[in-house]
Amino acid sequence: MLRAGIVVTGTEVLTGRVADANGPWLSEHLREVGVDVAHICVCGDRREDLTAQLRFLADQGVDLIVTSGGLGPTADDMTLPTVAEFAGTTLIFDATLESAIMNRLRPIADRWENVDWEALRVGIAKQALVPARGEVLDPVGTAPGAIMSADGVLIVVLPGPPHELQRMWPSALDAAPFRALLGEDVTAIEQATLRLYGITEPDIAETLRLAEGELGSLAALEITTCLRRSEVEVVTRFEADAHPLWTRLHEFIQTRHGAALFSADGSTVDDVVARLLNGRRLAVAESCTAGLLGARIADVPGSSAYFLGGVISYANDVKIGQLQVDPQLLAEHGAVSPEVAEAMAEGALKVLGADIAVSTTGVAGPGGGTAEKPVGTVCFCVKTSAGEKAALRVVIPGNRNQIRERATTVALHLLRRLLQR
């Protein structure tokens, strides 16, 4: 199996100001063409650090290195000359490429005020430098990509903006050096994802231990478990001949954790809820989650077909004025109570004309907790226009942001379970 390393460049990524979107995207798309990603590295805009990353990956015996970023017109964009030096080649000026970049940029620059055309030309000239030995990938923005070879390792150099990298990727795959590396028969590495809710990682670890005793060695399956959004994900990668073993493992997990297993096809709870709604109109009434629940629902493509909207009723006055919650109910039970959660859901049903509504109200902290209602206490209610109801009161651990994020997941699963009745 071919092995690859990815180098994501940029001090903004290294310091966390920008989240890395390219590494995971490349990893998934390399898997689809049968390349196993062994490493994803991040380095800042320093030539010596990038060279060190390239050397590290080459020493690990990878067949392919893919870099992203550092192809822009500024002085800190040093990926191409660094990779060229590592590959033992030089950069040469391509006048045709310079003209193409200028023609692409001129209509945009004409709309700017006080354009420094000389500085712009210098930047474009920098981007028109290409490796003397290697293949150039036509730019989709202003930065071309490149493919070079160093000591038997193929190096693919791609731009940093995700939309440019993704649009350039097919050209990289179609380039002769990449095709030669992949060979004639491209076999994707299969990947399967199970998602479970209501169990812990140790529960799954014990199940996998028992599975190995009953099914035999699971060495042909690369199994990773993680806790994400309060759900346990079991991600398994395997080659085609191990698919029967994966099927048996799936059945084993289904037998032990059927009630907790809500997705076996990679779907998220957001996707599952969208399918289960089946045209029913959904509304939300949020207090402590303050829009996070509605955002999760709206993130699903096509959600406009079933999601009407919601009311963020952080203050009691909004609960009373917008959701028609009885002031006496608030006085007797407090805003964080099952009674008020139910009244909020009922209000959303009426006010928004929904078929089903979900409410959240809680103490996200860090202050506001009491002995009776400590920080992390959240009450949920799901109600339908037909009178069905599901309610829950839990104490969620974590800081303020974690409590609110986790409450959103709990609300979606409460909705899912009612829809699955």
pLDDT in tens, 282-320: 999 999 999 999 999 999 999 999 999 999 999 999 999
Percent of the chain with pLDDT over 70: 99
| pLDDT higher than 90, residue 128 | yes
197-236 b/e (C-beta count within 10 Å ≥ 16 → b): bebeeebbeebbeebeeeeeebeebebebeeebbbbbbeb
| Domain 190-263: which CATH number of 3.20.20.10, 3.40.50.1970, 3.30.70.2860, 3.60.15.10 | 3.30.70.2860
- The CATH class for the domain spanning 2-182 reads alpha beta
Query: Taking 70 as the threshold, does the pLDDT of residue 28 lie above it?
Result: yes
Which residue is listed with tokens 């199994």? 223
pLDDT at 185 over 70: no
Q: Indicate whether 324 pLDDT > 80.
A: yes
Instruction: Please compute the mean of the pLDDT values over residues 81-101 and round it to a whole number.
Output: 95
pLDDT surpassing 90 at residue 23: yes
> Does residue 417 surpass a pLDDT of 70?
yes
Q: What is the mean pLDDT of residues 9-26?
A: 96
HSE-up (13 A, CA, CB side) for residue 46: 9
Would you state the pLDDT for residue 308? 98
**Mean pLDDT, to the nearest integer, of 394-406?**
97
Helices (H), 17-134: 22-32, 47-59, 79-86, 95-109, 117-127
Q: How far is CA 416 from the centre of its chain?
A: 22
- Give the residue among 26, 89, 82 at the shortest CA–CA distance from 52: 82
The whole-number average pLDDT for the span 273-282 is 96
* Domains 190-263 and 269-419 fall in the same CATH topology: no
Please state, in angstroms and rounded to a whole number, the distance separating the CA atoms of residues 71 and 50.
13
> Can you give the pLDDT at residue 388?
97
Which sequence spans correspond to the domains of the chain? 2-182, 190-263, 269-419
Q: What is the mean pLDDT of the chain?
A: 95
**Confidence (pLDDT) at 376:** 98
Tell whether the model's pLDDT for residue 122 goes beyond 90.
no
Class of CATH domain 269-419:
alpha beta
pLDDT for the residue 192: 96
Least-confidence region, from 96-105, 350-359, 370-379: 96-105
- Euclidean distance between CA atoms 416 and 270, whole angstroms: 9
Q: Is the pLDDT of residue 119 over 80?
A: no
Residue-wise pLDDT for 140-180, tens only, equals 989 999 999 999 999 999 999 999 999 999 999 999 999 99
Give the residue among 187, 188, 131, 180 at the shortest CA–CA distance from 152.
180
The pLDDT of residue 118 is above 80: no
**Poorest-confidence range of 72-76, 115-119, 131-135, 384-388?**
115-119
- Greater confidence, 111 or 62? 62
Pairwise pLDDT comparison (189 vs 59), residue with the higher score: 59
pLDDT at 53 over 80: yes
pLDDT over 90 for what percent of the chain?
90
Measured CA distances, 398 to 67, 196, 287, 314, 364 (Å): 36, 20, 18, 20, 9
What is the b/e burial string over 325-344, where b = at least 16 CB atoms within 10 angstroms of the residue's CB?
beeebbeeebbbbebbbbbb
pLDDT higher than 70, residue 245: yes
